[in-house]
Structure 1
Amino acid sequence: MQDVLRVGVITGTHGLKGEVKVFPTTDDPKRFKDLKEVLLYTDKDILPLKITGVKFTKNLVVLKFKGFETIEEAEKLKKKELFISRENAVPLEEGEYFIVDLIGLQVVTDDGILLGTLTDVIQTGANDVYVVEGSDKKEILLPAIRECILNTDLEKKIMTVKIPEGLMD
């Protein structure tokens, strides 16, 4: 498991006073209100950035960081990813998982047949859809519902599923 989780990507500047626009990659963008610090990964190192202001505009979050007072300073942050440590992550309910922890799991049927590797999660609104890539490079789309996803074992890196009737036809 990764020690850090991506929560957003800086898309540009906002105004003249060092604020940046962030595209949130978290389920709940409002969680930025509770964050005191994020981690910015550069080519050379990891910079902890103290958050001093949070606003929301359309589908973006506007953040103000301590030490960034001008648009020129904020401009340097464009296209950089923001992360948080796992300790600062939102606590998950039983049966909930971070997407980063699911990617790479081996997916097997309840009959023990290996379907492939979970490569992506599509968030549809109603329920997530797991993308499983088989050895033949074909993709299988599995609805992330209780009737289909029987067990997820992060330690063994295995997800056991029941294939809904007609899905493989």
Structure 2
Amino acid sequence: MKSQFLEAGQIVNTHGIQGEVKIVPWCDSPEFLCGFDTFYIDGAPVKVRAARAHKGNVLARLEGVEDVNAAMRLKSKIVEIDRSGIVLPEGRHFIADLIGLTVIDDDTGASIGVIDEVLTPPAHEVYVVKGEGKTYMIPAVDAFLRGTNVDEGWVRVHLIEGMEG
């Protein structure tokens, strides 16, 4: 079952003396995270008064955080967002929704394991699939992805030599 809230970043430091926090985003871009008017920290909603992208991070002013001491108390906290209202482009999925999906070899119809991790190097995502003592590294590109159905819990892939590690 999909969680209503998604981990979207981590507060790693303060910025200046006015209570801004520096967030390392765990999404496609810092600009995406800047588009939210509410973050959830420790399960509680926190209004975003202002947010801007800065050197690959997000600098945010949060309601109730008025100085550097209040901002410092948030250091290392995970920032979550509410998935309701987010419309992803066709064929895009939240990484959190991919973890645990069954991966099926499209050529044989056999299950080869489940997605254990999604790596995000600059070129494209890579699915780390673990099953029956084997690990596969599958680039998340059209040449290898044959279909994804998060609601039914599966991804179909085309395997080639060298994917099994």
Please report the TM-score for the alignment, with normalisation by the length of structure 1.
0.89
2:102 maps to 1:106: yes
Q: 1:140 aligns with which of 136, 151, 154?
A: 136
Q: 1:129 aligns with which of 103, 126, 131?
A: 126
Q: 1:116 aligns with which of 101, 113, 120?
A: 113
Q: 2:93 aligns with which of 86, 97, 107?
A: 97
Corresponding letter in the other structure for 1:32: L
Deviation (angstroms), 1:84: 0.9
SS state of the match for residue 31, structure 1?
Answer: helix
Q: 1:67 to 1:126 in 2, by over 3 A?
A: same
Q: How much identity, in percent, do the aligned residues show?
A: 33
How far apart, CA to CA, are the structure 1 residues paired with 2:8 and 2:48?
14
SS state of the match for residue 22, structure 2?
Answer: strand
Q: CA RMSD in A?
A: 1.6
Report the counterpart of residue 75 of structure 2 in structure 1.
78
Corresponding letter in the other structure for 2:9: G
Report the counterpart of residue 35 of structure 2 in structure 1.
34
Structure 2 portions without partners, runs of 5+: none
SS state of the match for residue 87, structure 1?
Answer: coil
How far apart, CA to CA, are the structure 2 residues paired with 1:140 and 1:166?
9
Report the counterpart of residue 45 of structure 2 in structure 1.
48
How far apart, CA to CA, are the structure 2 residues paired with 1:47 and 1:125?
33
Q: Judge conservation of contact 2:15–2:22 (CA < 8 Å) in 1.
A: yes
2:23 maps to 1:3: no
Corresponding letter in the other structure for 1:135: E
SS state of the match for residue 51, structure 1?
Answer: strand
Structure 1 runs, 4 residues or longer, greater than 4 Å off: none
Report the counterpart of residue 13 of structure 2 in structure 1.
12
